[in-house]
Structure 1
Amino acid sequence: MPSDIPDESPCESPTDLTGLLARMRQAGQREESVSLDALLDSVGRRSFAPFLLLAGLITLAPILGDIPGVPTLMASLVVLSAVQLLAGRDHVWLPRWLLQRRIARERFVQATRWMERPAGWVDRLLKPRLTWLTRPPAHLPVALTCLLIGLAMPPMELVPFTATGAGLALTLFGLALLANDGLLALLGYALTGGTLGVVIASLV
Structure 2
Amino acid sequence: MSADGAQHQPVRNLLDKLKESTKDRDSLTFGAVMDAVGRNSFASLMLVIGLIMMVPGPADIPGVPTLLGGIVILLAVQMLMNRDHVWIPGWVERRELKSETIKKMIAWLRKPAQWIDSIARPRLSWLINRGSISVLDLAAIAIALSTPFLEFIPMSANVAGVAIAAFGLAILARDGLIAAVSVVTTIGLFSLVIYQLI
Superposition TM-score, scaled by structure 1 size: 0.88
Instruction: Flag structure 1 segments of 5+ consecutive residues without an equivalent.
Output: 1-11
Helix, strand or coil for the counterpart of 1:103? strand
Aligned residue runs from structure 1 range 189-200, under 5 A: 189-200=183-194
Counterpart check, 1:68 vs 2:54: no
Q: CA deviation at 1:192?
A: 0.6
Say which structure is richer in helix: 2
Amino acid at match of 2:119: L
Q: Which has the higher contact order (CA 8 A, sep 6+)?
A: 2
Amino acid at match of 1:185: A
More moved, 86-95 vs 193-202 = 86-95
Of 146, 158, 165, which aligns to 1:164? 158
CA displacement 1:159-204 (0-9 Å, x = unmatched): 1121111100011111100100000001100111001110121123
Of 10, 13, 17, which aligns to 2:11? 17
Q: CA deviation at 1:48?
A: 2.1
Of 77, 83, 94, which aligns to 1:89? 83
Aligned residue runs from structure 1 range 26-105, under 5 A: 26-105=20-99
Q: CA deviation at 1:16?
A: 1.2
What do you get for the CA RMSD once the two structures are aligned?
Answer: 1.8
Which residue matches 1:7?
Answer: none
Query: CA contact under 8 A between 1:35 and 1:101: conserved in structure 2?
Result: yes
- Cα distance in 2 between the residues matched to 1:91 and 1:44: 9
- Cα distance in 2 between the residues matched to 1:161 and 1:113: 20
- Cα distance in 1 between the residues matched to 2:132 and 2:14: 23
Amino acid at match of 1:65: A
Amino acid at match of 2:99: R
Counterpart check, 1:175 vs 2:181: no
CA displacement 1:115-142 (0-9 Å, x = unmatched): 0011111111111001122232321111
Percent identical residues: 38
Helix, strand or coil for the counterpart of 1:200? helix
Query: CA contact under 8 A between 1:58 and 1:64: conserved in structure 2?
Result: yes
Runs (4+) of structure 1 exceeding 4 A deviation are: 12-15
Amino acid at match of 2:29: S
Superposition TM-score, scaled by structure 2 size: 0.90
Helix, strand or coil for the counterpart of 2:82? coil
Helix, strand or coil for the counterpart of 2:57? helix
Amino acid at match of 2:84: D
